[in-house]
Chains A and B, each alone.
Chain A
Amino acid sequence: MGLQDLRDQICIVGVGDTQQGSVPTKTGDELAIDAARAALQDCGLEKDDIDGLFVQPSYGRQGDYLKVGLMLGLNPRVGGAVEASGATGCYMIQHAALLLHAGMANYVLLVYGTNQKTNRNRFGGALLEEHAPYGAFNPSLPFAFAFRRHMHLYGTTEEQLATIAINQRHNSLLNPKAVQKTPISLDDYMNARYIVAPLRMFDYCYVTDGGHAFVLTTADRAKDLRKPPVYIRGMGRQEAFRAYETPDLVMQSFQQERVAKMVFPMADMTTKDIQALYVQDAYSPAILAAIENYGFCPKGEGGRWIQGGRIAIDGELPINANGGQLSETYMVGWQNTCDAVRQLRGECGPRQIKNVERIMCTYTGGLREHAGALILRR
């Protein structure tokens, strides 16, 4: 028995989202409930079919598992809170898959809601307490370190990094749910102010309000539901609490490399089988890290590899066709997985990736310590 026994056995059957951007009339928990309702409607299940519930906490004491469970009026058999910052949604999907496969639940609901834009969450905390005296605030610093070192080791340029923000903004113009709607040119990017140099304003996600939810079930149950199931073909994860002790701090390599060694064998696939990639992109260098560490391109080549339209919606490997967190909305990766599901169902209108059957979603959480990935198929 191994992870490959789970291959194609669990499906995402419902996705739900809310208005995104600035939603000052709702709390994060209200948005979570709205998203949950939308996900149930998407798959055609009743609330009381749900026997598993996971809730992601958010800024300002929102997303408390007990409170959200009470607000949803559920008595789930299994569930809980999972906290792995930007990898939480991915980890919850994996927990749900294991519980469903073991027969501990039949239908699992995952929810996330936040009003951190309205509440002016600035992500201004120190990386770790011991770093505050040195002015090391905001989780972008490890990505600034990583990109600076990438430039030093491989000659990668800021102009090359600009490709990511420009590409994702282009995609967001095709996405009615996207918050950022002004196109970005290379000049706009290069003239934008630095936040933590070498990263500029356009390398940062935009903090938003909103909610997302997923419903998962087993493949046999999935066949009876409203929408075509999206199968979990592969999954993997790795923590890296000792990342600060390792000499290679370039682009979070070892944890993602270990995830790759789980997710591709489980899926019985290689990078060549993946037709689109969604990266939890709180900061743009996360994309370079993902394509190099998961093996889509050689180490150090990422800056050059993403040129020439390769990551555009009609390119060889479309990345974040929804606009990602730099341009659609900042839902700690949930919105990327939501878009991947809709792409596999062919629901994406002008941003639809042609004939897409296999999509990989990757996640990074915290500073460097959480990494996870999913391979989804139609």
Chain B
Amino acid sequence: MADYTKPLPVIEPWNAPYWQAAKRHEFVAQKCRTCGYTHLPPGPACTNCLSNDQDWIQLSGKGTIDSYGVYHQLWHPGFTDDLPYNVALIELAEGPQIISQVVGCANAELTCGAAVEVTFDDVTSDVTLPKFRLIRS
């Protein structure tokens, strides 16, 4: 996959477990042992109480689309073949929100409030991006 031209995540000591889990197709977040707060994106300390004492927990991978935008404008050449592509704000069942993409459907199928679940996109041999797909009932 040497021809992958999109930006890749910057892996730091405090977010490495997140990306290592994604590579195993597991979706995780930090949960504070001191106050119980669950948060994403990963950080060096709990954003609720600043404790360093954090666990990595498995997330259900379920969430809903709070909102989304559809890019018609190209700002990075790696996305040339994707236009128009969506970027969605997803509220996870466990509380945190993340920005990702909803894949496997047309942009016209997206709606605010739609149920989604995580899916894993192995974009390079080292990096897997958690993305989402619509839960079709």
Contacts and interface: CB of A to CB of B under 8 A. Distances in A.
Interface of A: 122, 124, 126-138, 140-141, 144-146, 148-149, 152-153, 193-199, 242, 244-245, 247, 249
A133 B41 CA distance: 14
A144 B89 CA distance: 11
B18 to A, nearest CB: 10
B94 interface: no
Nearest to A131: B99
B114 to A, nearest CB: 11
Given A245-B39, A245-B96, A196 B67 contact: no
Contacts of B70: 194, 196-197
The interface residues of chain A, by DSSP majority, are classed as mixed
A146 B41 CA distance: 20
10 contacts: A134-B87, A134-B100, A135-B79, A149-B66, A196-B70, A196-B73, A197-B70, A244-B97, A245-B96, A249-B97
B68 interface: yes
B72 A195 contact: yes
Given A135-B76, A136-B87, A148 B101 contact: no
A118 to B, nearest CB: 20
Interface residues on B, range: 35 or more
A131 B8 CA distance: 10
B47 interface: yes
Contact of A197 (B69, B75, B129): B69
Contacts of A146: 67
Given A124-B76, A249-B97, A133 B9 contact: yes
B135 to A, nearest CB: 18
A149 B10 CA distance: 30
A242 B48 CA distance: 10
B85 interface: yes
Contacts of B87: 131, 134-136, 141, 196
- 5 closest cross-chain pairs (CB), A and B: A144-B69, A137-B75, A132-B7, A124-B75, A152-B112
Given A145-B67, A145-B89, A196-B72, A135 B41 contact: no
Given A130-B9, A135-B6, A247 B91 contact: yes
B84 interface: yes
A141 B47 contact: no
A149 B112 contact: yes
A198 B7 CA distance: 25
